[in-house]
Amino acid sequence: MPVFRIKEAAELLGVSYDTMLRWADSGRVDKITDSAGRLAVDGAALARFARQRAQSAADADAAPVAAQSVRNRFTGLVTRVIKDTVMAQVEIQAGPHRFVSLLSREAADELALEPGMLAVAAVKATNVAVEIPAPAPAARRASVRPA
């Protein structure tokens, strides 16, 4: 069972250590104590919490759209727009995630895209690669007990 210290969980969710600790202390996410006695979060519980949090954000940020096939919507700020005569490259920073979109110059002009404006990166991919990070040190994989 993967276990993440509060600091690691905060980094994964793109929030501060204090916010993650507050969520754990209030019971929003289940906390445990690792074998070294440090406050931690079970990986499966963290994944459930991240899904719930993402869904809540998507529900709150949802624009009035009649129907859509895209499930991954990330609200963020446009940080860069580069245009040439035919194409435009638009960068959106949504929390810890950076999205780069290539679209026609005409579309970028119609949307009046410029740095600092709010935008939604709607992602639909036919290919998604999954990577597994290098194994954690043995101390972090040690047994845990409920907090």
Q: List, for residues 63-92, the tens digit of each pLDDT value.
A: 566 666 667 888 888 889 999 999 999 998
Q: What is the mean pLDDT of the chain?
A: 81
Q: Give yes or no for a contact between 87 and 101, defined as CB atoms under 8 angstroms apart.
A: no
Does 144 map to a domain?
no
> Are 49 and 80 in the same domain?
no
Does 134 map to a domain?
no
State the Cα–Cα distance between residues 113 and 94, nearest whole angstrom. Answer: 16
For 131, other C-beta atoms within 10 Å of its C-beta total 4
State the Cα–Cα distance between residues 99 and 83, nearest whole angstrom. Answer: 16
State the Cα–Cα distance between residues 23 and 48, nearest whole angstrom. Answer: 14
Q: For position 108, what pLDDT does the model report?
A: 94
Does 57 map to a domain?
yes
* CATH code of the domain in which 91 resides: 2.40.50.100
Domain range enclosing 38: 3-61
User: Predicted confidence band at 23 (pLDDT cuts at 50, 70, 90)?
Assistant: very high
> DSSP class of residue 140?
G
Segment 120-147 mean pLDDT? 68
Q: For position 57, what pLDDT does the model report?
A: 60
* CATH code of the domain in which 16 resides: 1.10.1660.10
Q: Provide DSSP, 78-131.
A: EEEEEE-SSEEEEEEEETTEEEEEEEEHHHHHHTT--TT-EEEEEE--S-----
50 has pLDDT over 90:
no
Q: Give yes or no for a contact between 101 and 121, defined as CB atoms under 8 angstroms apart.
A: yes
What is the total count of domains within the chain? 2
> Are 97 and 50 in the same domain?
no
End position of a domain, from candidates 16, 38, 61: 61
Segment 113-136 mean pLDDT? 79
